[in-house]
Amino acid sequence: CMPMVALAVMGKAVVIGVESVEWWVIDPSINILLGVSGFSIAMLMGSKLSSVNGRLYALEDAVCRITGSMRDMWWATPEIRRELAVWSSSLEHFLQAPREEKLRMAPRMRNLTDDLEKTLENYKLGGPNISGFHRDAAFLIHRATATTPIAYDQFLRYVSVLYIIIQIIAIPGLIGLISIFLSSFVIVGIYYLVSDMDDPLNYQTSSFIDARLDALTYWNQNHPVDEQKV
């Protein structure tokens, strides 16, 4: 955030130098406009934060439900263990792959899920557990590549930048300098933090917040493909 904050503060420092000229007059009523605009940006940020936070926990819940379903299938029908282990290992690899690779891997993951369904049907496996398993698998594969709509994200970015610029112009003196530092740090920081949460399956060194796949990882570690008999 700091390069953006430093840029905003330097911009305000330049503006302070010309605030003493006669033609630089800002009506105090602009404070109402700034307050309303700030509240609107907070609403936009909050809406996106709620959406991405819900997606984060929804992904984790789906992983746990899928793992629970696999545990039931594992002991109910030992003949499908290898196919199930292959699918589970592929799912973990798919979820941990970079976003661009996820987009390429998604069709293959859907085909593997269809093949697993055929295997389950061959062994007469059905019922609520199998139905829930496929629903959660379809949800997980779809949401793994989903993000906030680009139009929403661009609008939020443009409005945030415009709001900071208006503050640089409209709030005078030392109070304006402090306000710009604080507001730019908060707005830019929240924007980047929410954007990071918007990709909860990133798992790169630059990522701050990621969905936890502990249940699936633990399952694959204890049910490796190599140990399963054909």
Q: Confidence band (pLDDT; 50, 70, 90) for 7? A: very high
The CB-based long-range contact list for 47-56 (8 Å cut-off, 24+ gap) reads 48/148, 48/152, 48/153, 48/156, 48/194, 48/198, 49/190, 49/194, 49/197, 51/148, 52/148, 52/194, 52/197, 52/198, 52/200, 53/197, 55/143, 55/146, 55/200, 56/197, 56/200, 56/209, 56/211
The per-residue DSSP string of 123-140 comes to TT--SHHHHHHHHHHHHH
Q: Confidence band (pLDDT; 50, 70, 90) for 228? A: low
Percent of the chain's residues with pLDDT above 70: 97
The tens digit of pLDDT for each residue in 146-163 reads: 888 889 889 999 999 999
Lowest mean pLDDT among 23-37, 57-71, 107-121, 169-183: 23-37
Q: In whole numbers, what is the pLDDT of the chain averaged over residues?
A: 87
Could you give the CA distance from residue 95 to residue 88 in angstroms, rounded to a whole number? 11
Q: Confidence band (pLDDT; 50, 70, 90) for 227? A: low
What does the pLDDT read at residue 230?
39
pTM for the model: 0.79
Q: Confidence band (pLDDT; 50, 70, 90) for 108? A: very high
Mean pLDDT of 164-192: 89
**CA neighbor of 92 nearest in space, from 205, 218, 226:** 218
Could you give the CA distance from residue 142 to residue 7 in angstroms, rounded to a whole number? 39
The tens digit of pLDDT for each residue in 207-219 reads: 888 889 999 999 9
